[in-house]
Amino acid sequence: MKNIKRILIVCGMSALFMVVMLLALPTETLVSAQTPYLPGIAISSGYSVDVDPDSVVDYVHTITNTGNVDVMLDFQFTASEGWPVTLFNAAYPEGTTVGLPLPLLVGETMTMGIRLTVPVTASSGVVNTTTLTTTVLFQGDRYTSVVVDDIAVVREESPYASIYLPLVLRNYKPLVNGDFSEGLAGWSALGDLGVAIALDPSNTSNPVARLGNPGYACWDGVPIGNAIIQQQFSVPSASAEKSMHLLFRYRIYTNDRNIGLTDAFDTFDVLVDGVLRFRDANQTNFDYCNVDPYDLGWKTADIDLGAGGSQVNLSLEVHNRSDQFYNTYVYIDDIRLVEGN
């Protein structure tokens, strides 16, 4: 069973009488509820991820007591497709595991995890909504509830098929170690930000390449520069009316935002023979260094290499640009050549 983990970690009264309602607000970054001198909580927003049949998804939500009183929290959860779903304490304060309801003191933050099991029989295109309801208990009574939805869409089957072709090119040099099972063998590592073999955040038994370093401080602690892995290899010739495609998976973690994917801010770039063929970055959420790096989740990229029959120089690059703020690092896995339309 494959593990896919999606981790997102977030971090008066002038009249005698005031009626305040706490609502789940659909903002970009937080679903929040807060009232001066009364209970208040802030909860990180929901996920939207692609999943495979016979896999497990871990959603992790950060919950902060933003009010001025201590509260107790209770949790309920449902999966719209009836798939198995359970709660787990991802990182309760002090690392303790206790029974429900859970106490949350003023100013304290906890994380609560929801584990969804995708059945092996799940059909392509099916959408499951996992709903987490957090109920605030104050002075023994139910005060309010905040609801967060996590969306999982079962991936469509790939239109490509892996192929095994004879070594027909002169000086043929195949693409090697695309799954990084042999560390960085076959790859050249360059740059200032650091390249390393790490464990897949979704499957700790799976080695992946990491470009950049999660240890850099977000605020004025990230070197200006890049992290690069490169390999030169031969692309077999495609069949008639077909083309060769370079597929790979990648997962971006970043505090930066780059609307328009320009050269002004952090990016993940892929170059073939020195030409930029693919670029991605965070184009939506941004809250300076007030939150942990946004996890954009595993994605699959496809670069059409044409008819093949030649050698190429492949370069996968992470760039931190402009200043020493807002760290960005990327996990890479499963680089392969396939034949497709």
How many Å separate Cα 1 from the centre of its chain?
Answer: 19
Burial, 217: exposed, middle or buried (Cβ in 10 Å; 0-12, 13-18, 19+)? Answer: exposed
C-alpha separations of 71 from 64, 84, 108, 192, 236 in Å? 11, 29, 10, 46, 63
Instruction: Say which range, 62-71, 134-143, 162-171, 207-216, has the weakest mean pLDDT.
Output: 162-171
Comparing C-alpha atoms, which of 257, 252, 335, 267 is closest to residue 297?
252
241 φ/ψ sector (left φ>0, alpha ψ -120 to 50, else beta): left
pTM score of the predicted model? 0.54
Q: Which CATH superfamily is domain 2-154 in?
A: Immunoglobulins (2.60.40.10)
Q: Which pLDDT score is estimated for 160?
A: 54
Q: Find tokens 């996968």 and name the residue.
A: 316
User: What's the CATH code, domain 161-340?
Assistant: 2.60.120.260
Q: Which two tokens stand for residue 173?
A: 């040099």
- 37-49 confidence digits (pLDDT tens): 688 888 888 888 8
Highest mean pLDDT among 41-50, 101-110, 128-137, 159-168: 128-137
* Residue 19 amino acid letter: V
Top mean pLDDT of 12-16, 33-37, 301-305 is at 301-305
At 89 the pLDDT is: 62
The CA distance from 322 to 101, in Å, is 46
Domain with CATH 2.60.120.260 in the chain: 161-340
Q: 202 to each of 56, 57, 263, 331, how far by Cα in Å?
A: 9, 8, 30, 11
pLDDT tens sequence across 243-252: 999 999 999 9
Which is more confidently placed, 37 or 269?
Answer: 269
Rounded to whole angstroms, the Cα distance separating 272 from 263 reads 18
Asked if 155 and 51 touch (Cβ cutoff 8 Å), the reply is yes
pLDDT tens-digit series, residues 68-127: 888 888 888 899 999 999 887 655 544 444 467 888 888 888 878 888 999 999 998 899
| Model confidence band, residue 158 (pLDDT cutoffs 50, 70, 90) | low
- 262 half-sphere exposure, CB direction, 13 A CA radius: 7
- 93 three-state secondary structure: helix
* Max avg pLDDT among 35-39, 63-67, 161-165, 187-191: 187-191
In which band, very low, low, confident or very high, does the pLDDT at 141 lie, cut at 50, 70 and 90? Answer: confident
Work out the number of other CB atoms within 10 angstroms of the CB of residue 187. 21
| Numbered ranges of CATH 2.60.40.10 in the chain | 2-154
Strand, coil or helix: 86: strand
